[in-house]
């Protein structure tokens, strides 16, 4: 076999490599507003996600996705009306954080709902439960909602701020 000078070598491979300048796509970011509702006895409301959907069957703090251009407080008011049939009268931002899932990331804007009108009910047919703060960790909460329960446990007597919706 005769050596071939550099630059004249011919490939016998049939493989094709495509080089691009783009980085791998990041999973989509879903922005969500969620509310912590308490009853007169201090119990906390959680709702069950519908089976068959993303993380179906798990329990969560009620709320939902922000519409394009919608502020988190506006989304909270809209979502709690749609999901629970209640009218939010006063709510205070509690925490905001991101939680990564393999196929998406969720940015949660969590509010303490201080006052609401109406009796919460599962308008969309979703089961609801009132639980104690101590029951939250073992209530089947979504992985993304567990930091909320942990933060509530650290600050069970949450001070009310003047910032609200």
- pLDDT in 10s for each residue of the chain, 165 residues: 555 455 554 545 455 555 555 555 778 999 999 999 999 999 999 999 887 766 678 999 999 999 999 999 999 999 999 999 999 999 999 999 999 888 889 999 999 999 999 999 999 999 999 999 999 999 999 989 999 999 999 975 553 333 456
Contacts of 160 (CB under 8 A, 6+ apart): 92, 112, 114
- What local confidence, expressed as pLDDT, does residue 89 receive? 97
Q: Which residues contact 143 (CB under 8 A, 6 or more apart)?
A: 55, 58, 99, 101
pLDDT at 152: 94
DSSP 58-107: -EE-SEEEPPTT--HHHHHHHHHHHHH--EEEEEEEEEEEEEE-SS-EEE
> Which pair of structure tokens corresponds to residue 10?
């011919």
Q: Give bridge partners of residue 63 from the DSSP assignment.
A: 34
pLDDT at 101: 80
How much is the pLDDT for 104?
84
Q: What is the DSSP letter of 141?
A: B
pLDDT at 161: 38
Residue 127 has a pLDDT of 96
46 neighbors 60 (Cβ within 8 angstroms): yes
Are 66 and 29 within 8 A, CB to CB?
no
CATH code: domain 36-154 is 3.90.79.10
């Amino acid at each position: 076999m005769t050596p071939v000078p550099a630059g004249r070598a011919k490939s016998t491979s049939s493989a094709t490599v495509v080089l691009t300048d783009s980085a791998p796509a990041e999973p989509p970011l879903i922005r969500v507003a969620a509310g912590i509702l308490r009853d007169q006895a201090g119990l906390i409301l959680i709702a069950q996600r519908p089976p068959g959907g993303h993380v179906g069957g798990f329990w969560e703090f009620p709320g939902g996705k922000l519409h394009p251009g919608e502020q988190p407080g506006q989304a909270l008011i809209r979502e709690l009306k749609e999901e629970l049939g209640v009218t939010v009268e006063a709510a205070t931002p509690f925490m905001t954080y991101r939680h990564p899932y393999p196929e998406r990331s969720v940015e949660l804007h969590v509010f303490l709902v201080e006052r609401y009108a109406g009796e919460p009910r599962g308008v969309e047919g979703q089961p609801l439960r009132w639980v104690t703060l101590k029951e939250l960790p073992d209530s089947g909460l979504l992985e993304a909602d567990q930091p909320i329960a942990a933060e509530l446990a650290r600050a069970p007597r949450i001070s009310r701020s003047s910032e609200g919706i």
